[in-house]
A = this chain, B = another copy of it.
Amino acid sequence: MSKPTIRQLEYLIALQETKSFSKAAALSNVTQSTLSAGILDLEESLQQRLVNRGRKNITLTSFGEETCESAQKIMEEIDHLSYRAQAIKSPLCGPLRLGVIPTIAPYFLPRLMPRLKEQYPALELHLFEDISENLFEKLRRNDIDIALMAFPYKTHGMTQCPLFKEQFFLAMPKSLTTKENFAKLDDLDQQDLLLLEDGHCLRDHAVEACNLQIPSTRKAYSATSLQTLVQMVNNGLGVTLLPEMAVQTDHLPENIKILPFKKPQPTREIGLVWRKNSPKSGEFEMLSTVMTG
């Protein structure tokens, strides 16, 4: 009544993948006899058949499938173990798939990349620009390792790591001059507020921050990027909210005037999101300090 072996569990996984003892053996880099014996041992130690040995093709029993799932979990955990051991010695090294929302990417990445290159020259950053919803889905499916996005956003089963808050500014055409040097939230719904199209969290956060009811008729004015939005404001079509980083970085057109808000200032929070069980969690913490620093 001994315990299953990691090797035996590997054999079982290979067997499930190949549905053949000989192929599974090749996959596991052992001879067929070894794998056969290994599986028999496993069945012996569990006192349960794992494989239906048909003449033409073999299948796993339902308990075999169940066992295989556990085996995969175990192998995954072991891989994580080894990965982390490696990552301690040379963290943030090799490929890393980073998702970024469109209202952050063009402003934050140019600042980030040089610093990252300097501190972690071996890091291969693969970028994916998409809206929060899609990034979240990509995270869940392990299509990306980590996402840079704006909160509040519910990310179940993930770790959220807030980096910093930034305030929104009012961008208006110079023609709409006021003597005021500050905008007030109350003023907003009286004017033509231009927003990004649906799906951009910036839109939601702006709406939320300003406590506005946006009638769907306004959708006619929605734009697909902040740059476009700025152009629309420049042409006198209305006003909009711009996040701090867009104001600092963008080469803004002539005809645009930026006003800060009086308190309460509308803000959004920028942060990282990753799967709670990611083996790279430790490295992501380090990444976050590069991003805040």
Contacts and interface: CB of A to CB of B under 8 A. Distances in A.
User: Top 9 closest A-B pairs, CB basis?
Assistant: A46-B85, A48-B85, A70-B81, A70-B77, A74-B77, A74-B74, A73-B77, A6-B6, A67-B81
A88 B6 contact: no
Interface string A80-120: 11101110110000000000000000000000000000000
A81 B4 contact: yes
Interface string A132-147: 0000000000000000
A3 to B, nearest CB: 6
A78 interface: yes
A227 interface: no
Given A66-B84, A73-B77, A74-B78, 16 more contacts: A3-B78, A3-B82, A4-B82, A46-B81, A46-B82, A47-B85, A47-B86, A48-B85, A48-B88, A48-B89, A63-B85, A67-B81, A67-B85, A70-B81, A74-B74, A74-B77
A5 B3 contact: no
A5 B6 contact: yes
How many of these chains are in the complex?
A: 2
Interface of A: 3-6, 46-48, 63, 66-67, 70, 73-74, 77-78, 80-82, 84-86, 88-89
A169 to B, nearest CB: 39
